């Protein structure tokens, strides 16, 4: 096990004057006890009338109120196709739990300390970071479909491992950002991630800080951010901002997806239906054989994915029955059906929500916790149906051309 992360006794700081408002930026390591002590010392000095933290509203809620997970509407998450986003957040929480177990300090302890001390002194707390969901969607939009798939799979594989954090990760944590470190662990090309993960957030936090300081009418603000953002935010504050609200709006927009990935599923659907129809034209026996093959391949692989996920026997049956139809309709995924069925058959208890963050820190915990298992069922049944679509398509083509 590596020794606890430490930083120099004087954490890096910078001072910026915005008219009559003076901004003190404190760069912290998110898993450093010394960073917590520095935050306590600066707020305890009484020199500040506001504290800004590197948190968005959702991360603030998760950090300060772990019970907020119990308010998650799983049916809405599945229906609105937010499963991937929630799973990515849980995987990140698992990574942070590994850090907590290894170093004996919760990641974000300095942010929690800053919020707690500000509340005790009656100081306004300014949340200046962009919503993590928007950041993740902008990361996804900046990558090709293959890198996007590799990113998601790599995130799960890297963040769910039970191995200790490596020395290289420790060094990145001293210098940067928990999000950046988590993604950089497996990213093949970090430049693909730099703009939405670091540069955009530097610009966003600088603009948000300007607006929040003006709105609250504060004169001395302590800003607690990861040391990896210190130079960027300082640079952006000194550079000025003609229309900060317009900048925030632009940086909160999720780019529209490229047209061809959305057309591809419909094109594949037309080819498959056309192949099945052509089979019946050739001979009813051939057409019937192709339909049966399609049902067995797509339904069988979807059911297999659901079975591996530990789904209820009726959920496995639902996967087999639903996949041959959902694979022919790009707007409805097999995972939406299996997720809802599993959730209806095995309703999570309050205890499942309460232990969710700790359970997802281990691979076994994803199967043991009923909330997490719904997501596993969704993911593996979707994966099985997707693989079945391509195998079934190639099978139909082979039969027609053979």
Residues in contact with 293: Cβ distance below 8 Å, sequence separation at least 6, in sequence order: 392, 395, 396, 399
CA distance 135 to 357: 21
On whether the CB atoms of residues 337 and 319 are closer than 8 A, the answer is yes
Count CB atoms within 10 A of the CB of residue 332: 13
Helix (H, G, I), strand (E, B) or coil at 366: helix
| pLDDT < 70 positions in the chain | 1-11, 30-32, 66-71, 95-97, 99-100, 103-107, 144-192, 257-262
pLDDT at 349: 86
pLDDT at 88: 72
pLDDT at 176: 52
pLDDT at 3: 38
pLDDT at 181: 56
CA distance 202 to 213: 16
CA distance 69 to 359: 13
Give the residue extent of every domain in the chain: 13-252, 259-401
pLDDT at 154: 62
pLDDT at 48: 95
On whether the CB atoms of residues 173 and 181 are closer than 8 A, the answer is yes
pLDDT at 145: 62
pLDDT at 9: 43
Q: To the nearest whole percent, how much of the chain has pLDDT over 90?
A: 42
Return the residue matching tokens 């059906």.
Answer: 337
Phi-psi region of 374 (alpha: psi -120 to 50; beta: other; left: phi over 0): alpha
CA distance 322 to 298: 9
Name which of 319, 300, 295, 296 is nearest 376 in CA terms: 319
CA distance 112 to 105: 12
CA distance 265 to 326: 12
pLDDT at 79: 82
């Amino acid at each position: 096990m590596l020794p606890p992360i430490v930083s120099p006794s004087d954490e890096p700081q910078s001072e910026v004057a915005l008219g009559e408002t003076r901004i003190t930026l404190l760069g912290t390591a998110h898993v450093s006890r010394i960073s917590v002590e520095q935050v306590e010392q600066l707020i305890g000095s009484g020199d500040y009338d506001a504290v800004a933290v590197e948190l968005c509203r959702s991360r603030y809620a998760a950090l300060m109120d772990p019970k907020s997970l119990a308010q998650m509407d799983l049916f809405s998450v599945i229906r609105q196709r937010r499963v991937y986003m929630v799973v990515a957040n849980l995987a990140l929480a698992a990574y942070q739990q590994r850090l907590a177990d290894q170093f004996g300090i919760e990641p974000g302890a300095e942010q929690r300390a800053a919020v707690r001390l500000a509340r005790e002194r009656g100081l306004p707390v300014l949340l200046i970071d962009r919503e993590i969901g928007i950041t993740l969607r902008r990361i996804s939009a900046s990558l090709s479909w293959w890198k996007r798939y590799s990113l998601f799979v790599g995130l799960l594989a890297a963040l769910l491992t039970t191995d200790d954090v490596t020395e290289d990760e420790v060094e990145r944590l001293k210098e940067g950002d928990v999000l950046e470190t988590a993604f950089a662990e497996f990213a093949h090309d970090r430049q693909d991630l730099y703009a939405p993960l670091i540069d955009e957030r530097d610009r966003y936090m600088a603009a948000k800080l300007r607006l929040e300081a003006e709105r609250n009418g504060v004169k001395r603000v302590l800003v607690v951010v990861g040391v990896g953002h210190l130079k960027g935010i300082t640079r952006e504050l000194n550079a000025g901002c003609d229309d900060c609200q317009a900048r925030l709006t632009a940086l909160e927009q999720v780019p529209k997806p490229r047209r061809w990935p959305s057309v591809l599923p419909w094109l594949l659907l037309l080819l498959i239906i056309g192949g099945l129809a052509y089979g019946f034209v050739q001979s009813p026996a051939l057409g019937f054989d192709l339909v049966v093959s399609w049902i067995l391949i797509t339904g069988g692989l979807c059911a297999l994915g659901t079975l591996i996920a530990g789904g209820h026997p009726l959920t496995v049956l639902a996967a087999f029955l639903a996949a041959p139809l959902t694979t022919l309709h790009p707007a409805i995924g097999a995972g939406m059906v299996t997720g809802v069925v599993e959730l209806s058959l095995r309703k999570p208890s309050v205890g499942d929500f309460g232990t969710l963050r700790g359970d997802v820190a281990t691979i076994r915990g994803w199967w043991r916790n009923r909330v997490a298992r719904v997501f596993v069922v969704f993911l593996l049944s979707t994966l099985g149906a997707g693989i079945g679509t391509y195998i079934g398509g190639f099978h139909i083509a082979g039969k027609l051309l053979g």
